[in-house]
Amino acid sequence: MVTVPDLVAVPGLGLRAVHVVDGPALRWVATSELPDPTPYLEGGELLLTTGLGTRGWSDQWTAYVGRLAAAGAAALGVGIGLTYDRLPEVLVAACREHGLTLVEVPRETPFVAVSRAAAELLQDQEAAATRLALDLQRRLTQAALGLDLRPLLERLAQLLDGTVALVHRDGEPEEGPFGAHPAFLDLGLVRAEVAGIRGQGLGAVSSTMQGQITTVVRPIGLAGRPEHYLAVALPSGAGDPQRSAIGTAAVLLSLAVERRAERRAAERRLRGRAIELLVGGDLRSAEVLLAAAEGAPSVPERLRVLRASGPDETRDDLLERLEDSGVLVGRVAGDLMAVVPPGLLASVVAVAADHGAAGLRAGLGRAVPAADAGRSAETAAHALDRTTAATPVRRWEDVADAGPLALIPPALGHEYAASLLGPLDPELRITLAAFLRHHGSRGAVADDLGVHRNTVRNRLAEIERLLGVDLDDPATRVSAWLALELDAES
């Protein structure tokens, strides 16, 4: 950034700073003798004048300087030796009042020389910014050679003298914050900015200034929905080199995240295949496969199998959470399955329950030795079938303790009851239930229903005819009892 003091310091110009404030950067030099040149200013100019249009001014200086300050002028430069032998005191006072830098230009210094010097400074600044941007890009590229994102993020924080973090789509940090001043990064602001641009895809960028801190948030990724965002806090604003560095880092991070995602996808396929072999009874092959996978958990000696269903996004989130917890988890034939050791059971149940509100359902099979993982997978499927919105996670023990009826999925049970009892009217169903309740004693049924024994005998004969069964057969009685119980639950 070129400032007015930089221009004043140029040798040979002889400029004298009469009053200096921390104003806008110098963008150009303009010359005007108009009483009000502000319609021709864009902001950031050093306005040069000999004061020809201000001869005899006194009170007018305050309004003149006020207009220049409001227009965003960087400074006012007044030539000495033509209209004024020295700067009017009222002008100096007005510049102090409105916070405008005032420069005295000696008679022997042409205004064009001041303009040329400013142009050279601006040109040098642009060249320096280009060199800096290229240097930052080179250093960031060197830091992004591996799959580990930390070196790149740390290098970016160092080069920008700011604070950097890679955050998840929920705004929570996944890597970082890095930098000498972590407090610069307002994570609450980052979460809000991520939420604001999350639906806008990969092209969205957020830049917010609070006090002297500029916070930039931009998505990371090459295609699809962004899963990560780069968050940068800069204490001194973002110039062209800084913005270029952030853009370069975002591209490099996108490539690194994509490579990491591809690697993780391959590891997940491998783990899913290992779980498939395990529940299929091939413990040895599963152990060999996991031993070849870098960082994969081993098969515990004793385990439970978890099976989960629900929306894809919810299952993906559960998959990541369980992976981070060190659980062997993967997709098997489209289902999410995890191998849970005893020591992680409580935490896995808690994590799965946390996702219940998002539509996740999970069943935990019985605890078995590793060689019997298939049995745990089967019982996990039964437990999963018995989950509800009120009870999104069920263990096999919960189902088994509820009796054999709990093992039958509600829809299947209703269908079974309807097919078996369909031919019977309500009166015959009541008679059949009493017959089973009294273990086949027709006299007890008659007393229970308050009818004659012959009526009971005739009704039972009608039931046998309609259903094509023998009610004295124990298997028939079990089937009829099961159908009546399931019908009562539906």
Write the CATH number for 194. Answer: 3.30.450.30
363 in a domain, yes or no?
Answer: yes
- 240/164 same-domain check: yes
pTM, full prediction? 0.48
Residue 474 within any structural domain of the chain: yes
Which SS3 state, helix, strand or coil, does residue 333 take?
Answer: coil
**Structure letter (DSSP) for residue 325:** T
Residue entry with tokens 């006020």: 66
Is residue 226 assigned to a domain? yes
CATH of the domain at 449: 1.10.10.2840
**Are 110 and 9 in a shared domain?**
yes
- Residue 192's contacts (CB-CB under 8 Å, 6 or more residues apart) are 171
**DSSP per position, 5-68:** HHHHTSTTS--EEEE----PPP-EEEE---S--GGG--SSEEEEE--GGGTT-STHHHHHHHHH
Sign of the Cα torsion 320, 326, 332, 337 reads: negative
* Residue carrying structure tokens 């591996």: 146
Does residue 281 lie within any of the structural domains? no
Domain-located, residue 206: yes
Into how many domains does the chain fold?
4
Structural domain containing residue 204: 144-259
Give the CATH number, domain containing residue 111.
Answer: 3.40.1390.20
If asked whether residues 305 and 390 sit together in one domain, one would say yes
- My answer on whether 205 and 226 are in the same domain is yes
Give burial (CB, 10 Å; 0-12/13-18/19+) of 324: exposed
46 residue type, one letter? L
Answer yes or no: is 52 within a domain: yes
As given in the structure block, the two tokens for residue 121 are 């400074």
192 assigned to some structural domain: yes
Q: What is the pLDDT along the chain (490 residues), one digit of tens a residue?
A: 778 888 888 898 999 999 999 878 888 899 999 999 999 998 989 899 998 888 888 889 999 999 999 999 999 999 998 889 999 999 999 999 999 999 999 999 999 999 998 888 877 766 555 555 555 556 555 544 554 677 778 877 877 788 888 888 888 888 889 888 888 888 899 899 988 888 888 888 888 888 888 898 988 888 777 888 988 888 876 666 777 778 877 887 887 777 777 788 888 888 999 999 999 999 999 988 888 777 788 899 999 999 999 998 888 889 988 988 889 999 998 789 999 999 899 999 999 998 888 899 999 998 999 999 999 999 898 889 888 888 899 888 887 655 555 556 666 767 777 878 888 888 888 888 888 888 888 888 888 888 888 888 888 888 888 888 888 888 888 888 777 777 765 5
Q: Of 466, 465, 462, 434, whose CA–CA distance to 450 is shortest?
A: 434
Q: Same structural domain for residues 384 and 422?
A: no
